[in-house]
């Protein structure tokens, strides 16, 4: 209590936040609630454009359970853990429900939290409302171009030749994904100009493409699959029983998006694409074999009992099986079909890049910040939060959780007065 009053007697700390996305809005709320005079500079005409498009406009606010291996970073995983420990999932859920006033429902089948209203707009609007209610000012159509240290203060120069002075700056400019809505890496560039380098950046959670027209003709079919990923003939990882979607250009759905960065990074380094081998319904080769050897019907019908009919047709065609009864299947053809059912070599030709990527892989290494405050160790007064940092999560609310956690930490710590 005594501390709080003594803060209010001091000059308010001026905190400038670049970017009014998920992380920037959260940082603004915590910073202003902690007594700072907060202004957000947002390059577009709206706050939280990515929140609006998230989760198919339903906004998957948070995951129900989180494990550290749901995240990818080339930085120290201990640093990542320290940052996450600053705010538990339960505390974050509580904040949304009690402080932000968002009613949420947990979707049991997918382990995801969504707003009860299924409206991403509600999430964005409540965050903006909360920020404004605690005194945050938002200046729209104002793009950070360059940062300059002037004595004790930091100056933000905008692209239209304005400048803004702050005692602390929070960089919440996001990554490079979906550049058409304002995120094109300008924040990374501004940091580079003052000596803060980022790791290799790459599109992540992006759909994969194919030149196989028979597969793109299955566009719209979705199912739960398992995908083994091989790099240099060695099994690298398995994406287990998760949504897979045929699109008119290739493949998408959580199972593909979660492993897409492996294709992106291989191609970016001029290396061969990984091999993606799909098991179409998670049944083992032995289980399928038992079915094919014991059933009496047409092969195609037996396969179509377990898989979408059009996919069953395609797999039978590729195994050169035409109108055959199971008992007529020669061993060689049965073996070929078993491989196509459980280890289908997905003919990936490329990816959709940043245009469709949900996030950016890589960023400012976690080694560059003090993990208890997210302040740059080499440039005190500058704090980082959200996607600009070297970390991304898989599909399921994990990326927003990172944005909320880091936004809160940067907001709280940037507002503490040094006086």
Ligand X SMILES: Cc1cc2nc3c(=O)[nH]c(=O)nc-3n(C[C@H](O)[C@H](O)[C@H](O)COP(=O)(O)OP(=O)(O)OC[C@H]3O[C@@H](n4cnc5c(N)ncnc54)[C@H](O)[C@@H]3O)c2cc1C
Contacting positions for ligand X (CB under 6 A): 18-24, 41-44, 49-50, 53-55, 59-60, 143-144, 172-174, 177-178, 182-183, 186-187, 358-359, 386-387, 397-400, 403
In the complex, the smallest distance separating the C-beta of residue 403 from ligand X, rounded to whole angstroms, is: 4
In the complex, the smallest distance separating the C-beta of residue 241 from ligand X, rounded to whole angstroms, is: 20
Residue 85 phi/psi, 5-degree rounding, is: -65, -15
Which residue, 326 or 384, has its beta carbon nearer to ligand X? 384
Which residue, 308 or 361, has its beta carbon nearer to ligand X? 361
- CB-neighbour burial class of residue 294 (10 A; exposed 0-12, middle 13-18, buried 19+): exposed
Work out the number of other CB atoms within 10 angstroms of the CB of residue 97.
Answer: 13
Q: The tokens of 347 are what?
A: 């003919």
Distance CA 18, CA 218 (A): 43
Residue 131 phi/psi, 5-degree rounding, is: -60, -50
In the complex, the smallest distance separating the C-beta of residue 61 from ligand X, rounded to whole angstroms, is: 7
Which residue, 145 or 222, has its beta carbon nearer to ligand X? 145
User: Do 84 and 68 form a contact (C-beta atoms < 8 A)?
Assistant: yes
Which residue, 172 or 348, has its beta carbon nearer to ligand X? 172
Which residue, 365 or 397, has its beta carbon nearer to ligand X? 397
Q: Which residue is nearest to ligand X (CB)?
A: 21
Contacts of residue 64, Cβ cutoff 8 Å, sequence gap at least 6:
106, 111, 112, 113
Q: The tokens of 214 are what?
A: 């028979």
Work out the number of other CB atoms within 10 angstroms of the CB of residue 55.
Answer: 20
Q: The tokens of 288 are what?
A: 């399928």
- What kind and span of H or E run contains 158? strand 153-158
In the complex, the smallest distance separating the C-beta of residue 13 from ligand X, rounded to whole angstroms, is: 20
Which residue, 176 or 304, has its beta carbon nearer to ligand X? 176
Distance CA 368, CA 374 (A): 9
Residue 107 phi/psi, 5-degree rounding, is: -85, 105
Strand partners, 308: none
In the complex, the smallest distance separating the C-beta of residue 416 from ligand X, rounded to whole angstroms, is: 22
In the complex, the smallest distance separating the C-beta of residue 58 from ligand X, rounded to whole angstroms, is: 7
3-state helix, strand, coil in the chain (%, to 5): 40, 25, 35
In the complex, the smallest distance separating the C-beta of residue 55 from ligand X, rounded to whole angstroms, is: 3
Which residue, 71 or 280, has its beta carbon nearer to ligand X? 71
Which residue, 174 or 362, has its beta carbon nearer to ligand X? 174
In the complex, the smallest distance separating the C-beta of residue 205 from ligand X, rounded to whole angstroms, is: 7
């Amino acid at each position: 209590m005594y501390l709080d009053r003594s803060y209010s007697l001091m000059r308010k700390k001026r905190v400038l936040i670049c970017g009014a996305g998920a992380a920037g809005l959260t940082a603004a709320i915590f910073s202003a609630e902690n007594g700072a005079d907060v202004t957000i500079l947002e390059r577009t005409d709206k706050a939280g454009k990515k929140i609006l498009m998230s989760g198919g406009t339903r906004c998957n606010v948070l995951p129900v359970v989180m494990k550290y291996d749901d995240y990818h970073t080339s930085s120290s995983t201990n640093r990542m853990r320290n940052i996450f420990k600053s705010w538990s999932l339960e505390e974050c859920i509580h904040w949304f429900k009690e402080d932000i006033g968002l009613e949420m429902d947990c979707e049991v089948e997918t382990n995801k939290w969504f707003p009860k209203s299924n409206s991403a707009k509600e999430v964005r609007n409540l965050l903006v409302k909360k920020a404004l209610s605690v005194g945050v000012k938002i200046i729209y159509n104002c793009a950070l171009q360059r940062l300059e240290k002037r004595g004790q203060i930091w100056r933000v120069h905008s692209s239209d030749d304005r400048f803004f002075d702050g005692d602390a700056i929070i960089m919440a400019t996001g990554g490079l994904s979906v550049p058409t809505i304002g995120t094109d890496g300008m924040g990374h560039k501004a940091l580079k100009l003052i000596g803060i380098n980022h790791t290799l950046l790459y599109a992540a959670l992006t759909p994969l493409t194919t030149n196989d027209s028979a597969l793109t003709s299955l566009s719209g079919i979705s199912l739960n699959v398992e995908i083994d990923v091989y790099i240099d003939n060695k099994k690298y990882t398995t994406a287990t029983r998760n949504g897979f979607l045929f699109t008119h250009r290739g493949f998408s759905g959580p199972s593909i998006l979660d492993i897409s960065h492996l294709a992106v990074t291989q191609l970016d380094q001029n290396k061969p694409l990984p091999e993606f081998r799909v098991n179409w319904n998670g049944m083992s080769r032995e289980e399928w074999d038992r079915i094919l050897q014991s059933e009496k019907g047409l092969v195609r019908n037996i396969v179509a009992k377990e898989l979408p009919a059009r996919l069953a047709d395609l797999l039978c065609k590729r195994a050169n099986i035409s109108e055959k009864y199971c008992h007529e299947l020669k061993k060689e053809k049965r073996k070929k079909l078993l491989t196509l059912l459980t280890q289908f070599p997905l003919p990936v030709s490329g990816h959709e890049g940043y245009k469709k990527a949900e996030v950016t892989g890589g960023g400012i290494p976690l080694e560059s910040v003090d993990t208890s405050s997210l302040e740059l160790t080499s440039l005190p007064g500058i704090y980082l939060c959200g996607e600009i940092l070297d970390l991304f999560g898989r599909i399921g609310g994990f990326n927003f959780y990172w944005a909320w956690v880091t936004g809160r930490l940067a907001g709280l710590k940037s507002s503490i007065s040094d006086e």
